[in-house]
Structure 1
Amino acid sequence: LFSPAVLYMPRQFPKLTLSEVEEETQLLAEKVFASALKEEDHKDALSMFTVPEDCPIGLQQAKEHEILKELAEQQSEESTKRRKSLKMIRSQSMSLQIPLNAEWMRSLAVSPFLSSSSTCSSVPESCPDYQRVTISGDYCAGITVDDYEQAAKGLFKALLIREKYSKLAYHKFCRTTAQFLRSAENIRWTEDDEVQPEGEDPYSMDNIPENLNYPLKMKDGIVYVYDNAEALSENRPHDLPYPDLETFAIDLSHVLAMIADGPAKTYCHRRLNFLSSKFHLHEMLNEMAELKELKSVPHRDFYNVRKVDTHIHAAACMSQKHLLTFIQKTYNHDADRVVLAKDGKKMTLQQVFDSLDMDPYDLTVDSLDVHAVSKNSQYCNAETDQRTLTLTLQQEVAHDLEESKYQHAEPRLSIYGSCPEEWDSLSKWFIHHKMQSPNMSWMIQVPRIYDIFKSKKLVTNFAKMLENIFLPLFEATVDPQNHKELHVFLKYVSGFDSVDDESKHSDHMFSYRSPKPDQWTTDDNPPYSYYLFHMYANIMVLNNLRKERGLNTFQFRPHCGEAGSITHLVSAFLTSDNISHGLNLKKSPVLQYLYYLAQVPIAMSPLSNNSLFLEYSKNPLREFLHKGLCVSLSTDDPMLFHYTKEPLMEEYAIAAQLWKLSTCDVCEIARNSVLQSGLSHQEKKHFLGANYLKDGPEGNDIRRTNVAQIRMAYRHETLCNELSFIVDAVKSETVNE
């Protein structure tokens, strides 16, 4: 049976052509790319993406430049007229908006703000009463009208681009942001068909859809679906949105050019500073009220709210001490278990220790020799023997999670792309060992190691690697009766990740002129953006095909922003549902503000970063949380970075102690982790409340999340206020035209 979503088919990918304007933008974007690559080699150089806050001379020069621009603007009659026009638009709404529910908005028939004539008695009951911070006066102070409109126009376009790519791939896009984007276009926002994964019984081979027998063909690194052999010969693909490299490169260029734009940097820097200061005021005024709200909730505290470890690698999913205890316990109760296959000979745990001439009780954490070095080795080991170890570790961790009840995890299993049989092997392993757990869903990580496979002659070109990764998934979707194990396994896969060391340098600059995947035959690894586009493109087509068949869809959640070029975060802004790490957002106020406006979820791992890239005290997680970015805590690799049996609780405990986070803060982070996870719609309703899809206090059930309604109202109203600045500038430009 087809799902109701089939009514929305066919969906087409909106293609763009390179005009003269786009060519200029492309040239600017290439300069930005080149600067970003150069910056990787000169870490101390003053970044072209940041505001010179820590450079006294640069900061003074920037202030003098802004003052001169404002003085010049005062002499311009046209600028004065436009400023008055903007003030008139803003006067139609309060500086601090209390968002309305849908029925109230329709009754007012205006943009989603309170009008100045609205009375407090009109405020919905779900909106809590607390001390609000209101800013009055000329909100454009410190920036010229031209710069404000230029920055707002660029931000608006970037948000539209992300919305387009999110909707095409059935990724989540912030409802509030979508409402404001529609209001700027004078279009009434309607609730779209949002994809929410459904929960099902594990391992069932019943009710598998019938085969469609659609022919499949990879073209330019993307799998195309055809209705029959005749359509294949005539090159008439099935009605699905097939991405276009040139269009993506144009969209990427617009965002790349904007992150180095002077007015946009200044505007975003000021707004981010305001958000940080505003939260400190909110905390000072309402901290006790939030605490009082939480204390009135029965049977709910930080320990019994749901938390999801959305970024954890299966091969290192338990701490060193936990691993040691597990080895000793297994030796005591099951010493005859086969744990190693070496040179065709299987060895039991007893035989392994005998060959080492060692007693398991003489083992120590130090003798395990588990420590943090370059993590790339875990992505380069394509040996299937590793799954035996992963199996035993995962079953132990799953048991512990089920005992804890309130902790969940999304371990990442690797698919390398060296051969197409990997998927069948993994799915049979999953079903044979009954790996499904109510406290676990699974992610597939694809290491960016084409160069290694090419040097070993395992693949002839990059297209072959993509084919090995994605063609089996399309075959299982089109003809599930022929791939029953893989069909069942895919029910429990929530998404895909792209992993490897981001600091690896690539000399190739991604653009519309980049070679097609079947032409990428060199031994060099493709750049990060090239990987992300082709993974997104195939996931997008696959999601549309699976949605058409009524099957679950997948999120794209890459490692991004841990190190390397700032351009990685631009690529992820277009292609990802959410990201892991995001440290480099602190280098670009424009990108950081965009991630805030779009509420892109970010899973951060401060303990992992502390060992590899950034000491804990400098981690931007607290700063991001205060500003209102959608951040959560994750463990990454507990075996390398954690000491206790509950690594996720260890992350929360250290963050709370070091940064003096309140109960409301850590519960807000936990709620974010559930939202950004791949848990089913039913599970999220149970964990967060029936209305969790709604933004603001209306979507928060404090009895389940332990997040104060005051905090939720503050977050929602602040986001609405920031979005209204963008919309007002776009509307003002339309009026002036």
Structure 2
Amino acid sequence: MNQKHLLRFIKKSYCVDADRVVCNAKGKQLTLKQLFQQLKLHPYDLTVDSLDVHAGRQTFQRFDKFNDKYNPVGASELRDLYLKTENAINGEYFATIIKEVGSDLEDAKYQHTEPRLSIYGRSPEEWAKLASWFNTHRVYSPNMKWMIQVPRIYDVFRSKNFLPHFGKMLEYIFVPVFEATVNPQAHKELSVFLRHITGFDSVDDESKHSGHMFSTKSPKPEDWTSQKNPSYTYYIYYMYANILVLNNLRRQRGMNTFLFRPHCGEAGAVTHLLAAFMTADNISHGLNLKKSPVLQYLYFLARIPIAMSPLSNNSLFLEYAKNPLLDFHQKGLMVSLSTDDPMQFHYTKEPLMEEYAIAAQVFKLSTCDMCEIARNSVLQCGLSHEEKVKFLGENYQEDGPDGNDIRKTNVAQIRVAYRYETWCYELNLIAEGLKNE
């Protein structure tokens, strides 16, 4: 939701639930009214500015300050109460806000969203608790597909002795899903929840350097007992390996499978993009591709989709005018526009519209460009095959003009033909080169 929606909800909840017990602070139960008194606040005095959840100039190149923006009014108590699935009221407020966003999307009809829910790998009960929250509050909308994001914060848990080694973190993330796949009857809530999950994401500040190069000499996860965080590549490889095995098992049992779609190339080393090229179904951001023409070419040839969020990057890592979105699009990479944390980066209740409108103005995109980006967006998202047929036409999986239904996509056939011919030409060039070696 955007910041105005959150503000409205906080005021509404205070109006209705002022005397409801909403948290346990140091063993003491507090009502909503007492919580605000303790914070020396009154909800009716709150404004969008004082809520202070919007990223801006102060968050540029400062991921720590960006993370702090998740705390309304700088109070972690309000984050726990309104934006978490686990708290004294079992995440009821968060579920209600999400359902309101879902309702807005259903009214808008043609917009879908893929919100992320976190699994940290800190304890084996996380999946069960998350599934219980999802099912209890019926957090479902036909316009929402859910993804699981895994923050790369093993070092935090290891330093607090929550985990003996990295292997245990992987166990907590994946073993419950394997168990629910093998024996759905024994894990009913989780197996229902997994039907609504379309993929896994890997998230955190990519600019943090780990100092570890992943290779055959790297310790196995169960031997990684140091307090240092493993490298980005280490995380990506072990997530990919587990998802691959999990998908094979689920496919055999006639269940839905998961995409692997990590945040990648927003900052940090170019090796991140190399690791994702070999393991990921698609990536988010991909800004650092502009530093490596060779990788750009590989992403182009393999048609690896890239979901870009220029407004988010503008507040965190790269000024809008320097964003490589237009360059990638003109070269024929499969880019789409995506929102990223509407609460921080957007102002209206149509954040995706903001992304398209601003990109169209700054990059001077034509209608055909916008429609092509939107078509890419549908192709790479977690919608089911039936839903994609509805939006893109019966033959959307075909290559070239045969796969483009202009009545549905509004992308000119000459554009699709050009993209296909260019791609075929490059592939033929490589094939010829291999023959002549």
TM-score, normalised via structure 2 length = 0.90
**How many angstroms apart in 1 are the aligned matches of 2:401 and 2:236?**
35
Q: Does 1:326 align with 2:28?
A: no
Find the partner of 1:406 among 110, 120, 124. Answer: 110
How far did residue 570 of structure 1 move?
0.4
**How many angstroms apart in 2 are the aligned matches of 1:355 and 1:402?**
38
How far did residue 482 of structure 1 move?
0.5
**How many angstroms apart in 2 are the aligned matches of 1:339 and 1:439?**
30
SS in 2 for 1:603: strand
Counterpart amino acid of 1:384?
E
SS in 1 for 2:177: helix
Give deviations 1:28-77, integer Å, cap 9, x for gaps: xxxxxxxxxxxxxxxxxxxxxxxxxxxxxxxxxxxxxxxxxxxxxxxxxx
How far did residue 393 of structure 1 move?
2.5
Find the partner of 1:617 among 295, 307, 321. Answer: 321
How far did residue 361 of structure 1 move?
3.2
Counterpart position of 2:196: 492
Find the partner of 2:302 among 594, 598, 601. Answer: 598
Q: Does 1:629 align with 2:333?
A: yes
| More relative contact order, 1 or 2 (CA 8 Å, 6+ apart) | 1
* Gap runs ≥5 in structure 2: none
Counterpart position of 1:96: none
SS in 2 for 1:483: helix
Matches within 5 A, 1:44-83: none
Q: Does 1:369 align with 2:73?
A: no
Counterpart amino acid of 2:3?
Q
**How many angstroms apart in 2 are the aligned matches of 1:557 and 1:499?**
10
**How many angstroms apart in 2 are the aligned matches of 1:641 and 1:348?**
31
**How many angstroms apart in 2 are the aligned matches of 1:339 and 1:697?**
56
**How many angstroms apart in 1 are the aligned matches of 2:354 and 2:19?**
34
**How many angstroms apart in 2 are the aligned matches of 1:586 and 1:337?**
52
Give deviations 1:520-576, integer Å, cap 9, x for gaps: 100000001110110000000000011111111100000100000000000000000
How far did residue 362 of structure 1 move?
2.3
Q: How many aligned positions are there?
A: 416
Counterpart position of 1:430: 134
Q: Does 1:696 align with 2:379?
A: no
Matches within 5 A, 1:277-676: 318-332=1-15, 339-344=22-27, 347=30, 349-353=32-36, 355-356=38-39, 358-372=41-55, 373=59, 374=63, 375-376=66-67, 384-385=86-87, 387-676=91-380
How far did residue 388 of structure 1 move?
4.5
> 1:339–1:389: 8 Å Cα contact kept in structure 2?
no
Q: Does 1:721 align with 2:428?
A: no
**How many angstroms apart in 2 are the aligned matches of 1:419 and 1:359?**
36
Relative to structure 1, the CA distance from residue 356 to residue 524 in structure 2 (aligned partners, 3 Å threshold; closer, same or farther) is closer
* Gap runs ≥5 in structure 1: 1-317
Relative to structure 1, the CA distance from residue 606 to residue 471 in structure 2 (aligned partners, 3 Å threshold; closer, same or farther) is same
**How many angstroms apart in 2 are the aligned matches of 1:338 and 1:535?**
39
How far did residue 617 of structure 1 move?
0.1
SS in 1 for 2:48: coil
How far did residue 584 of structure 1 move?
0.3
Give deviations 1:232-288, integer Å, cap 9, x for gaps: xxxxxxxxxxxxxxxxxxxxxxxxxxxxxxxxxxxxxxxxxxxxxxxxxxxxxxxxx
Counterpart amino acid of 2:47?
T
How far did residue 721 of structure 1 move?
1.4
How far did residue 406 of structure 1 move?
0.7
How far did residue 389 of structure 1 move?
4.6
- Percent identity over the alignment is 68
Counterpart position of 1:250: none
Q: Rg larger in 1 or in 2? A: 1
How far did residue 359 of structure 1 move?
4.3
> 2:23–2:30: 8 Å Cα contact kept in structure 1?
yes
**How many angstroms apart in 2 are the aligned matches of 1:411 and 1:348?**
30
How far did residue 343 of structure 1 move?
3.9
**How many angstroms apart in 2 are the aligned matches of 1:530 and 1:388?**
36
How far did residue 728 of structure 1 move?
1.5
Give deviations 1:612-639, integer Å, cap 9, x for gaps: 1100000000110111100111111111
> 2:85–2:133: 8 Å Cα contact kept in structure 1?
no
> 2:200–2:258: 8 Å Cα contact kept in structure 1?
yes
Matches within 5 A, 1:90-239: none
Give deviations 1:490-510, integer Å, cap 9, x for gaps: 000000011111111111111
> 2:264–2:273: 8 Å Cα contact kept in structure 1?
yes
Relative to structure 1, the CA distance from residue 538 to residue 558 in structure 2 (aligned partners, 3 Å threshold; closer, same or farther) is same
SS in 2 for 1:366: helix
SS in 1 for 2:53: coil
**How many angstroms apart in 2 are the aligned matches of 1:667 and 1:457?**
50
**How many angstroms apart in 2 are the aligned matches of 1:642 and 1:631?**
20
**How many angstroms apart in 2 are the aligned matches of 1:376 and 1:366?**
17
> 2:305–2:335: 8 Å Cα contact kept in structure 1?
yes
Give deviations 1:150-197, integer Å, cap 9, x for gaps: xxxxxxxxxxxxxxxxxxxxxxxxxxxxxxxxxxxxxxxxxxxxxxxx
**How many angstroms apart in 2 are the aligned matches of 1:715 and 1:438?**
32
Give deviations 1:668-700, integer Å, cap 9, x for gaps: 111111111111111111111111111212111
Relative to structure 1, the CA distance from residue 357 to residue 462 in structure 2 (aligned partners, 3 Å threshold; closer, same or farther) is closer
**How many angstroms apart in 2 are the aligned matches of 1:693 and 1:706?**
17
> 2:309–2:338: 8 Å Cα contact kept in structure 1?
yes
How far did residue 611 of structure 1 move?
0.7
TM-score, normalised via structure 1 length = 0.54
**How many angstroms apart in 2 are the aligned matches of 1:494 and 1:698?**
27
Relative to structure 1, the CA distance from residue 358 to residue 501 in structure 2 (aligned partners, 3 Å threshold; closer, same or farther) is closer
> 1:578–1:602: 8 Å Cα contact kept in structure 2?
yes
Aligned Cα RMSD in Å? 2.1
How far did residue 666 of structure 1 move?
1.1
**How many angstroms apart in 2 are the aligned matches of 1:407 and 1:349?**
34
Relative to structure 1, the CA distance from residue 403 to residue 383 in structure 2 (aligned partners, 3 Å threshold; closer, same or farther) is closer
**How many angstroms apart in 2 are the aligned matches of 1:603 and 1:359?**
40
Relative to structure 1, the CA distance from residue 370 to residue 507 in structure 2 (aligned partners, 3 Å threshold; closer, same or farther) is same
Relative to structure 1, the CA distance from residue 630 to residue 387 in structure 2 (aligned partners, 3 Å threshold; closer, same or farther) is farther
> 1:581–1:603: 8 Å Cα contact kept in structure 2?
yes
**How many angstroms apart in 1 are the aligned matches of 2:85 and 2:141?**
25
How far did residue 358 of structure 1 move?
4.6
How far did residue 339 of structure 1 move?
4.9
Of stretches 345-354 and 535-544 in structure 1, the one that deviates more from structure 2 is 345-354
Of stretches 509-518 and 367-376 in structure 1, the one that deviates more from structure 2 is 367-376
Counterpart position of 1:51: none
> 1:566–1:584: 8 Å Cα contact kept in structure 2?
yes
**How many angstroms apart in 2 are the aligned matches of 1:636 and 1:384?**
23
Relative to structure 1, the CA distance from residue 671 to residue 383 in structure 2 (aligned partners, 3 Å threshold; closer, same or farther) is closer
How far did residue 321 of structure 1 move?
2.0
Give deviations 1:466-498, integer Å, cap 9, x for gaps: 011111111111111100111010000000011
How far did residue 352 of structure 1 move?
4.1
How far did residue 418 of structure 1 move?
0.6
